[in-house]
């Protein structure tokens, strides 16, 4: 699990995050450690703009050590003397975020190399360099030379600049030779969430496969903020939701995040860029792509809201309701669809969508009423009733579900008798 330990920063970087409180409290950190222990986990990764700048960083390490949780420390490498001592004295895995040279002030990159080289020398082979790429036009030749200087044997690549797929496809032509070049020197290479499989040519995909360095499918990598909200992955950190305190095990947080964004991936699949994407077809769209698509949805919402405020049409109301559904703004979706239903009460599709929204809002009476109306208005009521039965089952209403499924069986029997006649 990723833990954002601190929003403090020692350098302005392209992947900075902001929030409050500035540091996670030791008490909350202890609760996370307890949750990890209860889940049978043995590791966590402390992240943030610079987690070692946390006012009580040593205390956090002590809490994790007491709970027998091994901490992976992600750092920009510009360390205080105290932070450097703590990392040199402990055999903790260290992840260095390496940025393009222009991010650093003069002399800072050399300072990073000296500090990280000393830390790696204290406990060899525990260092992983994470090359953070925020500019697709920036040459990547600095990565190999830096990796050799600090003696790292493992390199990961992280793309933090959401771009359209055609821009990412153009980038892979320069990117893949750098990755394969590192791989031939014996360095372990990996790709973090950021490059979907569909941007690579068959030849490039094959070259990466030989290094066991294939593009990731973005399954949830649960992370937690200092205020205990959870996030799906780093690309979706701005959409953190829920509260870790509501879960007894990390698996519950994983299920929560997966269900939230798996639904979104299904809804977003019709986007033109995704019609042939193996990630989207398996409902495992990589985080940066999903973040871009959600931004597009928000742009559609702004456009549709303007049209609705000026002169709402039935189609605009329905489309706005669907867009709110895709953004998981169910109250707003309900309001739009109720207005659309008022204008066209005979539209079974609106009733069905409204029933789904009521299900998400926990309004079971409204859900049942809308599904029943949709079934009556449909030429094929069986699929609607089957969905209603599943919805009741999902919320633990087994009796209601059995009654609906009994009606469904009666409908099927009636249809079969008509066929025999």
Per-residue pLDDT tens over the stretch 109-145: 999 999 999 999 988 889 999 999 988 888 998 999 9
Question: Which residue ranges in the chain fall short of pLDDT 50?
Answer: none
Residues contacting 292, CB < 8 A, separation 6+:
162, 163, 164
Q: Are 44 and 61 in contact (CB under 8 A)?
A: no
pLDDT at 269: 62
pLDDT at 282: 60
pLDDT at 352: 96
CATH architecture of 2-267: Alpha-Beta Barrel (3.20)
pLDDT at 376: 93
Q: For helices 364-377 and 381-394, give the axis angle rounded to 10 degrees.
A: 170
How many other CB atoms sit within 10 Å of the CB of residue 308?
16
**Domain ranges, ordered by start, for the chain:** 2-267, 312-420
Dig out the tokens for 193 from the structure: 């969430």
- CATH fold of 312-420 reads 1.25.40
Distance (Å, rounded) from C-alpha 85 to C-alpha 72? Answer: 16
| pTM more than 0.85 | no
pLDDT at 2: 94
Dig out the tokens for 139 from the structure: 């040459």
């Amino acid at each position: 699990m990723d833990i954002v330990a601190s929003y403090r920063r020692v350098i302005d970087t392209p992947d900075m995050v902001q929030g409050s409180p500035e540091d996670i409290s030791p008490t909350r950190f202890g609760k996370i450690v307890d949750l990890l222990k209860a889940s049978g986990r043995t590791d966590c990764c402390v992240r943030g703009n610079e987690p070692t700048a946390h006012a009580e960083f040593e205390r956090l390490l002590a809490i994790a050590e007491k709970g027998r949780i091994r901490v992976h420390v992600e750092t920009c490498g510009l360390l205080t003397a105290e932070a450097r001592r703590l990392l040199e004295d402990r055999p903790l895995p260290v992840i260095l975020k390496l940025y393009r040279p222009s991010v650093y002030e003069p002399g800072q990159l050399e300072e990073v190399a000296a500090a990280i080289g000393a830390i790696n020398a204290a406990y060899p082979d525990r260092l992983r360099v994470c090359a953070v790429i925020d500019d697709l036009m920036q040459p990547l030749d600095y990565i190999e030379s830096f990796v050799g200087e600090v003696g790292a044997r493992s390199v990961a690549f992280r793309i933090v600049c959401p771009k359209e797929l055609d821009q990412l496809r153009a980038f892979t032509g320069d990117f893949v030779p750098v990755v394969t070049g590192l791989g031939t020197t014996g360095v372990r290479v990996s790709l973090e969430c950021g490059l979907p499989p569909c941007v690579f040519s068959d030849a490039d995909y094959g070259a990466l496969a030989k290094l066991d360095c294939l593009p990731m499918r973005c399954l949830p990598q649960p992370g937690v903020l200092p205020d205990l909200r959870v996030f799906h992955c780093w690309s979706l950190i701005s959409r953190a939701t829920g509260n870790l305190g509501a879960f007894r095990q990390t698996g519950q947080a994983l299920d929560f995040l997966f269900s939230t964004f798996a639904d979104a991936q299904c809804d977003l699949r019709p986007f033109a860029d995704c019609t042939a994407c193996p990630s989207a077809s398996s409902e495992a769209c990589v985080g940066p792509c999903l973040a871009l698509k959600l931004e597009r949805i928000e742009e559609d919402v702004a456009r549709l809201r303007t049209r609705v405020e000026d002169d709402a049409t039935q189609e605009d109301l329905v489309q706005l309701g669907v867009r709110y559904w895709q953004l998981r703004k169910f109250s707003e979706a309900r309001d739009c669809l109720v207005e659309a239903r008022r204008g066209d009460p005979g539209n079974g599709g609106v009733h069905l969508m409204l029933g789904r929204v009521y299900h998400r809002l926990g309004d079971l009476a409204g859900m049942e009423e809308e599904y029943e109306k949709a079934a009556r208005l449909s030429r094929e009521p069986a699929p609607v009733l089957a969905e209603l039965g599943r919805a009741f089952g999902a919320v633990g209403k087994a009796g209601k579900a059995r009654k609906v499924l009994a009606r469904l069986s009666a409908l099927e029997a009636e249809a079969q008798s008509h066929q025999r006649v």
